[in-house]
Structure 1
Amino acid sequence: MSSKSSYLKSPDLFPISQLKRKMSTVGFAILWVSMAVVLAAFAIGGDGIQTLPLHLVIIATIIGSLGIGLCMTLTGDIGIEHGLSFPVYMRAPFGTIGTHIPSIFRGFVASCWFGINTFFGATGINAILFMLFGIDQWFICFLIFAALQLFNTAFGIKAVERFANLAAPVIVIISGWMYIALSSQATAAGRDVWAWVEAPAVGVEAVSAFFIVVMATMGFWGTLAADMPSISRFIKAPKYERSWFKRNRGQLIGSLVAMPIVHTFMVIVGAVSYMAVFNSNPVEALMETTTNGILLGVLMLMIALAQWSTNTSSNVIPAATIFSNVGGPKVPFWVGVMIAGAIGVLVQPWNLFDIIVPALLFVGGILAAIVGILVVDYYIIRKRRVNVTDLYEETGQYHYWKGINVAGLLAWIAGGGGSLLFPSYSFIIGLVLGGTVYYVLAKYWWFKRYPQAELENPDDDTYLGLTVGRDWTVQDEEVETFKEAR
């Protein structure tokens, strides 16, 4: 069989059956706790507290967290219902070839996040080595720490869940101590954590500052809002369940409760850290203010563990899945993991922390356009019905024009480009504009030229998955040919 004909049929990208879905509701919530403890989130708090009081920073963060959590849950149903990963479903709104363009962008962003989080974890490890042995080699710590995470991720989603179960409770406790220590330091410096603002914004500037925190929060998790199917397809869900809420209960608590609570707390810690020493990086802040070597050592170890558990689930796995999809069967999942790791190192993440908030506004709007397109394509146009087997056929209905869905690409350009004009509202603009343009172009133009089976014959029993008790199966001709030859 030619490589061309098997291009879309990498075993790592086949739909996940009910029996292979091992992640429970509690397991996913705990996974979210560990994923949400990200040091980069502290930058949002440090940036916000410069113009807004802490209570407004908290409100803006909660709004942004709930908004992006809803987006995640909406896109996550693709994985729950059909067992599909993000890059595979993207073949529907973008085409079997066109999917690679936005997917690679999302994979690149996730790889950058892997590098940033690895750098923070490595600084914690380096601090421990310096305290114990006087060794100051952060770059070597960075390389070793990156290698360990990539090795862990190659074992698969269950290994990630087990690691998160171990790390999450300790991380929450140590984060609480970080808040107490830093708020005490701020109070000692004469700054009331609930009233102090460095340069208060008023009027229109205050509104803009508020929405910057909202949009930065949504942009922070924008990669997962698009890519949630790659994780949600491993969550247990009931067959023959037509209620959207009951079918998705496995991800609701994690995305709409656990993540908003923990992420908001991380933003608070970053804000208090800035109040204490005018530095939103708590690693550096606590090294300046904490004299207890043992306590500091434990803290740094937990910081390293936090970045590890976050990276595996929210960055490396989605990026590796995307790169595997682009490369086809010749690029298995573990190779995708290594590609993500290489990108995370080459972007020099140690130089990115100071520009995280502007970068979140920029990237968030572009990713939001993808989320808007996914939601419109899946819910409004196809009404959750998908001709799954054709997603794996190069000459099937999703091939479109030379493998490209022009409506999807134009909508992405319009949504992403429009979001850049108003960065303070980037995610909302990208989401609404991308989804709206896609709906008009796809429904009234593109799908009239390229008919879709699930639209021509909207039959639930034929095109729904878990709701009608179906586990989608994709026949791999290469495997079948091998069996026949034997």
Structure 2
Amino acid sequence: MSKLSRLHQLLIVKRTERDGITRPVDMLDNDSIRPTPVQDRKWNQLTYIMFWFSATANVSNLYTASTGMAMGLTMWEAIACSFSGQILAGSLMALNGRAGAMYRIPFPVLCRSSFGHWGALWPTFNRAAMSVVWNGVNTVQGAQCLYVFLHAIFPSIENIPDKMGSKSALTSAQMMCFFVYWIINCAFLVVPVPKMRALVYIKVVIYFAAAFAMVGWTVSLAGGSLKTLNNPSEVQGTEKSYLIFKFVFLGLASCGTFISNASDLQRYATKPNDVLIGQIVSFPLSNLLIAVLGNLIASASKAIFGELIWSPLVFLDKLMEGERYTSGNRCACAFIALAFVYSTVFSAIFENSIPAGNDIAALLPKYITIKRGFFICAVLSYAICPWYLLSTASIFITFLSSYQIFLSAIAGILICDYYLIRRGLLNIPSLYVCRPSPYRYYHGFNPRAFLAYIVAVAPNFYGFLFQMGVKAPLGIQRFYYVAYPTGLFIGFGAYWLTCLASPPEGMKEVSGWMEPKDFVEDHDGSSSGYTIHAVEVEKGAVEVSKEAYDKGSF
């Protein structure tokens, strides 16, 4: 066997069947993207409540309301707008993640139900690309946290000559921190996701201890003077109404990635309903608390330095300038920055690495597992040189935010497919095989979903181009304020209408709500790869026979 053949055999993902024989997996299937096994469903209700306090616990969320204030809203108005949008986002996460919570399947596999086996590669690629880029952005932020920590311990680090140039968001010293932080992040990726439950709890304690400590310390340094909290609004009348409208839905759109990949996070649930309180209540409350803490810190900076400093990292670094570089300040800054480093690592894992691992594994399951996907994401997030992206193009961040219009269309289609077309019942074995399968559609692509996707994106595309620098009328600009809900509802409605006009296989036979109480499956080495151990149907729903389920006839 040649070296190339041996390398190929090494790369192929294999599975040990119950007969003890190891076989290569199929093109649509490997263990990483199968329904989460029962023994790995360890995330209970408390885990999901704490998870969102953990996932939102990062440095950038400390100044989440600053954009609204910069545009003229008061601090409390900006926070209220953000909070309202996040309440909507939490509800949509619960809706779109229901299939993941019930059948324990990831986002890429769920997409096969509506887009088709091969058509699902498009929304999966979209999500994977976004995760990789955001992982790079978060790594830059983690490097900045690490730099503040090292600066507090080693004063000479600021004397390292900067060779990065003006086009880089990081100095040479911070680039060194970037590499160290990247290695730390990769080290934690070896921890299996089901076993990260303890890390979720630890992160909540560490982050909020640091955040509250920073609030207490900075408010004390400010002498208790937080006058900026009560600054009046700088805009009035119609302009203010549009501004409030804009930032409510901006708070929703900023959570677009969470909404789209909700299944990736809900598939580890012990019981399907364990995710609900966390999504609907804990998620918006955690964001609200962090926004308030961040604005208290920023307000203290005004009293201390005479200027408003929104970034807590810049704030910490300024507390160590000149005469302030005392042992007490250095110690406080070091502990707070170290807590932020730890928090940023797990924010990147929960928000980017886990979704990217699921997405990349689903793009090529014969060769990539979710673990390999984690590390591919890490390597790519380094390869794209995010320190240059953040510095050379402010429009780049605008693009990332605006890109949510494409994800909103996908979310609308997925929600429609699960609730109206499938009525809560998915044929799980058929999602992993080409034939026979009701999800094959036309050569593996569902024209209905792609038509609905185009129709949903089209009304917002002019506004998207405006965000990229193209001139547009004021009406187009204001219409883009509601780009996310518009794309979501149009995607939902367009897909429903196309399915009514041309019903997919089995749609006419579905009546009533057919979601099971719970779903348990196990692999048995059969051709379909699955044995259905328990599918308990809700009272009043239509029960499907085992034979019909296996054939996809429903």
TM range (shorter): 0.7 to 0.9
Give the SS at the match of 1:150: helix
Q: Report the Cα distance in structure 2 between the residues aligned to 1:19 and 1:220, rounded to whole angstroms.
A: 34
Shift of 1:218: 1.9
Structure with larger RCO (C-alpha < 8 A, sep 6+):
1
Partner of 2:267: 233
Cα 1:273–1:206, aligned 2, differ >3 Å: closer, same or farther?
farther
Cα RMSD (Å) of the superposition?
2.9
* Deviation digits for residues 15-73 of structure 1 (CA, Å, limit 9, x no counterpart): 12434311121122222111101223345312111210011112111111110000111
Cα 1:214–1:111, aligned 2, differ >3 Å: closer, same or farther?
farther
Q: How does 1:76-95 map to 2 (within 5 A)?
A: 76-95=97-116
Q: How does 1:152-301 map to 2 (within 5 A)?
A: 152-181=188-217, 191-197=227-233, 200-237=234-271, 247-248=272-273, 250-272=274-296, 275=299, 276=302, 277-289=307-319, 291=324, 292-301=329-338
Letter in 2 for 1:280: W
- 8 Å contact from structure 1 (residues 186, 192) kept in 2: no
- 8 Å contact from structure 1 (residues 464, 470) kept in 2: no
Shift of 1:182: 5.3
- Worse overlay, 345-354 or 376-385: 345-354
Partner of 1:384: 424
Cα 1:143–1:442, aligned 2, differ >3 Å: closer, same or farther?
farther
- 8 Å contact from structure 2 (residues 85, 251) kept in 1: yes
The equivalent position to 2:521 in structure 1, one of 452, 472, 478, is 472
Partner of 2:459: 418
Partner of 1:100: 121
- Higher alpha-carbon Rg: 2
- 8 Å contact from structure 1 (residues 86, 229) kept in 2: yes
Give the SS at the match of 1:90: helix
Shift of 1:214: 2.2
- Worse overlay, 251-260 or 427-436: 251-260
The equivalent position to 1:333 in structure 2, one of 370, 373, 379, is 370
- 8 Å contact from structure 1 (residues 47, 271) kept in 2: no
- Worse overlay, 304-313 or 136-145: 136-145
Q: Report the Cα distance in structure 2 between the residues aligned to 1:336 and 1:97, rounded to whole angstroms.
A: 19
Cα 1:475–1:226, aligned 2, differ >3 Å: closer, same or farther?
farther
**Identity across the alignment (%):** 20
Letter in 2 for 1:92: S
Aligned residues: 460
Give the SS at the match of 1:472: strand
* Deviation digits for residues 350-399 of structure 1 (CA, Å, limit 9, x no counterpart): 44385587345412222222211111111122110111111011232212
User: Aligned pair 1:46/2:66, yes or no?
Assistant: yes
Q: How does 1:398-437 map to 2 (within 5 A)?
A: 398-420=439-461, 421=463, 422-437=479-494
User: Aligned pair 1:115/2:140, yes or no?
Assistant: no
User: Aligned pair 1:36/2:85, yes or no?
Assistant: no
Give the SS at the match of 2:199: helix
Q: Report the Cα distance in structure 1 between the residues aligned to 2:219 and 2:492, rounded to whole angstroms.
A: 43
* Deviation digits for residues 114-147 of structure 1 (CA, Å, limit 9, x no counterpart): 2222221211111222222223522122123223
Give the SS at the match of 1:91: helix
Q: Report the Cα distance in structure 2 between the residues aligned to 1:474 and 1:91, rounded to whole angstroms.
A: 20
Letter in 1 for 2:505: P
Cα 1:10–1:99, aligned 2, differ >3 Å: closer, same or farther?
same
Q: Report the Cα distance in structure 1 between the residues aligned to 2:401 and 2:90, rounded to whole angstroms.
A: 17
Cα 1:345–1:183, aligned 2, differ >3 Å: closer, same or farther?
farther
Gaps of 5+ in 2: 1-11, 14-23, 159-172, 464-478, 530-554
- 8 Å contact from structure 1 (residues 222, 368) kept in 2: yes
Letter in 2 for 1:349: P
User: Aligned pair 1:139/2:196, yes or no?
Assistant: no
Letter in 2 for 1:49: M
Structure-1-length-normalised TM-score: 0.86
Cα 1:457–1:370, aligned 2, differ >3 Å: closer, same or farther?
closer
Q: Report the Cα distance in structure 1 between the residues aligned to 2:359 and 2:524, rounded to whole angstroms.
A: 21
Shift of 1:280: 2.4
Shift of 1:342: 2.4
Cα 1:479–1:434, aligned 2, differ >3 Å: closer, same or farther?
closer
Give the SS at the match of 1:329: coil
* Deviation digits for residues 295-329 of structure 1 (CA, Å, limit 9, x no counterpart): 11111011111111211112101111110000112
User: Aligned pair 1:443/2:500, yes or no?
Assistant: yes
Partner of 1:393: 433
Partner of 2:95: 74
Structure-2-length-normalised TM-score: 0.76
- Worse overlay, 71-80 or 215-224: 215-224
